[in-house]
């Protein structure tokens, strides 16, 4: 990899492949989810060492409710049992945890654990760890549009006032920078309704590695691929190079 200054500030990950990892080993799918949690701990720790400022993971999508009831129940049970332990460890390592998504659909006990984990780590500054649960990118845009519609009905804004900036303020992660790099494990080449608004200019990296096998060396590969790209944000390469040259010129000061 290149210098630390080119480490992506915000990485997002679609953690795919837990079930297939377990089936390949003729084990229950729940074993794959447990192995995936172990991999997640490793990646959080490594991101902290690299200086990544923010990590966002897709833990449970709004579509995952359609999976077999037994698997969903086991996922919820794993989430419940892991949350207190993981929050304690994150807090000890100065990591802030936030949850995005429609958490109101979870059980009252799980909601209480979610709120407690967020409050416990709210003042931490080393890194922010965002967990998307019962989340969907389309849901995110709809809930933001609904909030703006409510503001219009209350006379706080006019319809013609609505622009990208106003909508962005209502989107999940509105306080964060957009992801620089989005990684999907497991071989699928789609983002599956994850951070649709926030990923407009995010660099995408797809790997066949199943999530439980995704370790620091795999993250290094994804970051190296990211660093090899030219991020133009709609500009031409020539414009980008010119802008970079100007920004690197020393400021002129008073002459003696």
Per DSSP, the three-state class of 57 is: strand
In the prediction, which pLDDT does 84 show?
84
In the prediction, which pLDDT does 231 show?
73
pLDDT in tens, the chain (256 residues): 545 558 999 999 999 999 999 999 999 988 999 999 999 999 999 999 999 999 999 988 877 877 777 778 777 888 877 888 899 999 999 999 999 999 998 889 889 999 999 999 999 999 999 999 999 999 999 999 999 999 999 999 999 999 999 999 999 999 999 999 999 999 999 999 999 999 999 999 999 999 999 999 999 999 999 999 987 666 666 666 665 555 555 554 444 3
- Mapping DSSP onto H, E and C, the string for 201-235 reads CCEEEECCCCHHHCCHHHHHHHHHHHHCCCCCCCC
In the prediction, which pLDDT does 186 show?
97
In the prediction, which pLDDT does 239 show?
62
Beta-bridge mates of residue 57? 13, 131
20-30 confidence digits (pLDDT tens): 999 999 999 88
Instruction: For residue 196, count other CB atoms closer than 10 A to its CB.
Output: 16
In the prediction, which pLDDT does 106 show?
87
The domains of the chain are located at 7-136+177-248
77-112 confidence digits (pLDDT tens): 888 778 888 999 999 999 999 999 999 988 898 899
In the prediction, which pLDDT does 254 show?
45
In the prediction, which pLDDT does 163 show?
97
Which residues does the annotation mark as catalytic? 16, 64
On whether the 7-136+177-248 domain is CATH 3.40.1180.10, my answer is: yes
Closest CA to 212 of 92, 43, 70, 35: 35
- Continuous segment of H or E residues that includes residue 131: strand 127-135
The pTM of this model reads 0.87
In the prediction, which pLDDT does 95 show?
97
In the prediction, which pLDDT does 208 show?
98
In the prediction, which pLDDT does 249 show?
56
In the prediction, which pLDDT does 255 show?
42
């Amino acid at each position: 990899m290149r210098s630390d200054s080119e480490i992506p500030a915000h990485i997002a990950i679609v953690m795919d492949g837990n079930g297939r990892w377990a089936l390949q080993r003729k084990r229950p799918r729940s074993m794959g989810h447990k192995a995936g949690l172990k991999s997640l701990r490793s990646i959080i720790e490594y991101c902290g060492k690299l200086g990544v400022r923010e990590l966002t993971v897709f833990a449970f999508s709004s579509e995952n409710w359609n999976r077999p009831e037994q698997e969903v129940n086991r996922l919820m049970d794993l989430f419940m049992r892991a949350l207190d332990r993981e929050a304690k460890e994150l807090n000890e390592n100065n990591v802030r945890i936030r949850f995005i998504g429609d958490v109101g659909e979870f059980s009252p006990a799980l909601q209480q654990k979610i709120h407690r984990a967020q409050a416990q780590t709210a003042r931490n500054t080393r890194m922010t760890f965002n967990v998307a649960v019962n989340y969907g990118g389309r849901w995110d845009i709809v809930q933001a549009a609904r909030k703006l519609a409510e503001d219009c009905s209350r006379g706080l804004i006019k319809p013609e006032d609505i622009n990208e900036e106003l909508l962005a303020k209502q989107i999940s992660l509105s306080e964060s920078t957009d992801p620089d790099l989005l990684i999907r494990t497991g071989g699928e080449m789609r983002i599956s309704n994850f951070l649709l608004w926030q990923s407009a200019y995010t660099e995408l990296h797809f790997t066949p590695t199943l999530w439980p096998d995704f370790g620091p060396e795999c993250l290094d590969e994804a970051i190296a691929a990211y660093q090899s790209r030219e991020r133009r944000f709609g500009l031409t390469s020539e414009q980008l190079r010119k802008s970079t040259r100007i920004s690197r010129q020393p400021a002129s000061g008073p002459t003696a």
